[in-house]
Amino acid sequence: MLDSWLQALQDLALPTAIREGDGLFPWIEGVHVLALSLVIGSIAIVDLRLLGMASRELSVRQTTAGTLPVTWCAFALAAISGGLLFSSNATTYAHNVFFQIKLLLIAVAGLNMLAFHLLVGRGAHAWLTVQDTPLRGRLVGALSLALWILVVACGRWIGFTLNAVT
Protein backbone atom coordinates (compact mmCIF):
# COMPACT_ATOMS: atom_id res chain seq x y z
CA MET A 1 0.00 0.00 0.00
CA LEU A 2 2.62 2.51 1.13
CA ASP A 3 4.94 1.32 -1.62
CA SER A 4 2.35 1.97 -4.32
CA TRP A 5 1.88 5.52 -2.99
CA LEU A 6 5.64 6.06 -2.97
CA GLN A 7 5.89 4.62 -6.47
CA ALA A 8 3.15 7.00 -7.64
CA LEU A 9 5.03 9.87 -6.00
CA GLN A 10 8.31 9.14 -7.73
CA ASP A 11 6.53 8.68 -11.07
CA LEU A 12 5.31 12.30 -10.95
CA ALA A 13 6.90 14.71 -13.41
CA LEU A 14 9.12 16.67 -10.99
CA PRO A 15 10.52 13.65 -9.08
CA THR A 16 11.21 11.98 -12.43
CA ALA A 17 13.00 15.07 -13.68
CA ILE A 18 15.11 15.20 -10.49
CA ARG A 19 16.00 11.50 -10.85
CA GLU A 20 16.77 11.52 -14.55
CA GLY A 21 17.87 15.09 -15.17
CA ASP A 22 21.56 15.90 -15.36
CA GLY A 23 21.94 18.65 -12.82
CA LEU A 24 18.79 18.92 -10.71
CA PHE A 25 19.74 16.40 -8.03
CA PRO A 26 23.16 17.91 -7.17
CA TRP A 27 21.76 21.47 -7.15
CA ILE A 28 18.96 20.47 -4.77
CA GLU A 29 21.51 18.58 -2.67
CA GLY A 30 23.58 21.77 -2.49
CA VAL A 31 20.53 23.69 -1.22
CA HIS A 32 19.90 20.89 1.30
CA VAL A 33 23.49 20.98 2.65
CA LEU A 34 23.43 24.78 2.84
CA ALA A 35 20.07 24.76 4.65
CA LEU A 36 20.94 21.97 7.08
CA SER A 37 24.24 23.62 7.92
CA LEU A 38 22.28 26.72 9.00
CA VAL A 39 19.70 24.65 10.92
CA ILE A 40 22.36 22.81 12.90
CA GLY A 41 24.64 25.79 13.38
CA SER A 42 21.85 28.10 14.58
CA ILE A 43 20.54 25.45 16.97
CA ALA A 44 24.07 24.71 18.21
CA ILE A 45 24.51 28.40 19.12
CA VAL A 46 21.60 28.05 21.59
CA ASP A 47 22.73 24.60 22.77
CA LEU A 48 26.26 25.82 23.49
CA ARG A 49 24.86 28.80 25.40
CA LEU A 50 22.65 26.48 27.48
CA LEU A 51 25.75 24.39 28.20
CA GLY A 52 27.70 27.53 29.10
CA MET A 53 30.29 26.88 26.38
CA ALA A 54 29.64 29.92 24.14
CA SER A 55 27.79 33.28 24.10
CA ARG A 56 28.35 33.25 27.87
CA GLU A 57 27.83 37.01 28.20
CA LEU A 58 24.30 36.76 26.71
CA SER A 59 21.07 35.63 28.34
CA VAL A 60 19.35 32.55 26.91
CA ARG A 61 16.54 34.74 25.58
CA GLN A 62 18.94 37.07 23.76
CA THR A 63 20.58 34.05 22.17
CA THR A 64 17.35 32.45 20.94
CA ALA A 65 15.99 35.79 19.66
CA GLY A 66 18.89 36.09 17.23
CA THR A 67 18.86 32.50 16.00
CA LEU A 68 15.25 31.24 15.92
CA PRO A 69 14.22 33.05 12.69
CA VAL A 70 17.33 31.58 11.02
CA THR A 71 16.50 28.11 12.36
CA TRP A 72 12.91 28.21 11.07
CA CYS A 73 13.71 29.62 7.60
CA ALA A 74 16.60 27.19 7.13
CA PHE A 75 14.50 24.26 8.41
CA ALA A 76 11.75 25.04 5.89
CA LEU A 77 14.34 25.13 3.11
CA ALA A 78 15.96 21.87 4.33
CA ALA A 79 12.56 20.14 4.54
CA ILE A 80 11.52 21.25 1.04
CA SER A 81 14.86 20.32 -0.56
CA GLY A 82 14.99 17.07 1.42
CA GLY A 83 11.42 16.26 0.37
CA LEU A 84 12.32 16.81 -3.28
CA LEU A 85 15.38 14.55 -3.00
CA PHE A 86 13.22 11.91 -1.26
CA SER A 87 10.51 12.11 -3.92
CA SER A 88 12.99 11.30 -6.69
CA ASN A 89 13.67 7.85 -5.21
CA ALA A 90 10.89 7.51 -2.64
CA THR A 91 10.64 3.70 -2.61
CA THR A 92 14.39 3.27 -2.13
CA TYR A 93 14.77 5.90 0.61
CA ALA A 94 11.69 4.75 2.53
CA HIS A 95 13.23 1.30 2.95
CA ASN A 96 16.63 2.61 4.04
CA VAL A 97 17.13 2.11 7.76
CA PHE A 98 19.33 5.22 8.13
CA PHE A 99 16.64 7.32 6.45
CA GLN A 100 14.06 5.94 8.89
CA ILE A 101 16.32 6.60 11.89
CA LYS A 102 17.07 10.10 10.58
CA LEU A 103 13.37 11.04 10.40
CA LEU A 104 12.83 9.61 13.88
CA LEU A 105 15.78 11.59 15.29
CA ILE A 106 14.49 14.82 13.69
CA ALA A 107 11.09 14.18 15.31
CA VAL A 108 12.74 13.62 18.72
CA ALA A 109 14.86 16.75 18.25
CA GLY A 110 11.66 18.66 17.43
CA LEU A 111 9.95 17.37 20.59
CA ASN A 112 13.05 18.32 22.60
CA MET A 113 12.87 21.84 21.18
CA LEU A 114 9.13 22.00 21.88
CA ALA A 115 9.70 20.82 25.45
CA PHE A 116 12.30 23.55 25.87
CA HIS A 117 10.00 26.32 24.62
CA LEU A 118 6.84 25.12 26.39
CA LEU A 119 7.95 23.42 29.59
CA VAL A 120 11.61 23.47 30.51
CA GLY A 121 12.20 26.95 29.18
CA ARG A 122 9.47 28.52 31.29
CA GLY A 123 11.28 31.15 33.20
CA ALA A 124 14.10 31.05 30.66
CA HIS A 125 13.89 34.86 30.64
CA ALA A 126 15.48 34.60 34.06
CA TRP A 127 18.42 32.60 32.70
CA LEU A 128 20.55 35.68 32.36
CA THR A 129 23.96 34.27 33.11
CA VAL A 130 25.57 30.88 32.68
CA GLN A 131 25.26 30.35 36.45
CA ASP A 132 21.50 31.06 36.27
CA THR A 133 20.97 28.30 33.71
CA PRO A 134 19.59 25.26 35.56
CA LEU A 135 20.57 21.66 34.96
CA ARG A 136 17.40 20.93 32.97
CA GLY A 137 18.38 23.68 30.53
CA ARG A 138 21.84 22.16 30.13
CA LEU A 139 20.35 18.71 29.57
CA VAL A 140 18.08 20.02 26.79
CA GLY A 141 21.12 21.64 25.15
CA ALA A 142 23.25 18.49 25.38
CA LEU A 143 20.44 16.28 24.03
CA SER A 144 19.77 18.67 21.16
CA LEU A 145 23.45 18.76 20.14
CA ALA A 146 23.74 14.97 20.28
CA LEU A 147 20.54 14.44 18.27
CA TRP A 148 21.48 16.83 15.48
CA ILE A 149 24.99 15.35 15.17
CA LEU A 150 23.36 11.92 14.76
CA VAL A 151 20.94 13.37 12.17
CA VAL A 152 23.92 14.52 10.06
CA ALA A 153 25.63 11.13 10.47
CA CYS A 154 22.47 9.27 9.40
CA GLY A 155 22.11 11.58 6.42
CA ARG A 156 25.63 10.71 5.30
CA TRP A 157 25.12 6.99 5.91
CA ILE A 158 22.01 7.00 3.68
CA GLY A 159 24.22 7.83 0.71
CA PHE A 160 26.50 4.87 1.38
CA THR A 161 23.82 2.24 2.01
CA LEU A 162 21.33 2.88 -0.80
CA ASN A 163 22.76 0.22 -3.10
CA ALA A 164 22.37 -2.42 -0.42
CA VAL A 165 18.62 -1.87 -0.47
CA THR A 166 16.66 -3.92 -2.94
Partner 1 sequence: MIAALHVLDPFCTWLAATPLSQAIQTVEWIIPAVQTVHILCVASVMSSVLMIDLRLLGIGTRGQTLESVASRFLPFIWWPLPVLLVTGATLIVAEPTRSLENSVFVLKMALLLGAVAVTLIFSLPLRRDASFWELTTARRGAARLLAAVSLPLWAAIIFAGRWIAYTQVS
Binding site for partner 1 (CB under 8 A): 23, 25-27, 29-30, 33-34, 36-42, 44-45, 54-55, 57-58, 62, 66-67, 69-70, 149, 152-153, 155-157, 159-160
Distance of alpha carbon 136 from alpha carbon 74, whole angstroms: 27
Shortest distance (Å) from residue 120 CB to partner 1: 23
Cα 36 to Cα 76: distance, rounded to the nearest angstrom: 10
Q: Cβ(64)–Cβ(46) under 8 Å?
A: yes
Provide the minimum distance between the beta carbon of 66 and partner 1 in the complex, in angstroms, as a whole number: 5
Which CB atom, from 118 or from 160, has the smaller least distance to partner 1?
160
DSSP state for residue 165 in the 8-state scheme: -
Supply the minimum distance, in Å, between the C-beta of residue 7 and partner 1. Answer: 25
29 versus 92: smaller Cβ distance to partner 1: 29
- Asked if 75 and 85 count as a contact pair (C-beta separation under 8 A), the reply is no
